[in-house]
Structure 1
């Protein structure tokens, strides 16, 4: 077993409950970690024997492009899509963080972290 991690994927998206958030958008950071059996890949040096992190990046970008009110909803969609498209993945952990959330205070970011096993 091993893990692959994509750290601080920067994305501009339009999530949030406020109408303005859907119009103006905001900066987001997404962190994704998947667990899979990487033993064969370590021997063969072949992309087909591992989880392609380009695929993982594309999944994150595609799901972040679909507007949602809640970060929880976006995180769940990312998890579901990874489990559907990357058959080798046994576990997915994702954090979605909104930078400078409109909550009436000096808060650098608000984030949601979710994890699921196959």
Structure 2
């Protein structure tokens, strides 16, 4: 296998799972934010239920956009695996479980 293909494969094997993890982290952060916003609206005395509704809808749309991004990246991942099989003759049965890059778990970042 040419060195260029090996380097490209190694880079993709690191970067694709890392991107998937970061998208999941963003989804978790958005879910936490949604919880905080709805809780604040509910627990603030004198605030009618209609207040903050537009912000909650926007947060929901942002979450859905992240879900769409997640699906798109998963499809790209599958396409890259297929290209690897066709181009480099890899017999890939499963992808790396997790990228060991510089991602920080959300709980430790707080």
TM over 0.5: no
Indicate the structure (1 or 2) with the bigger Cα radius of gyration.
Answer: 2
- TM-score normalised to the size of structure 1? 0.28
Higher share in helix: 2
TM-score (norm 2): 0.29
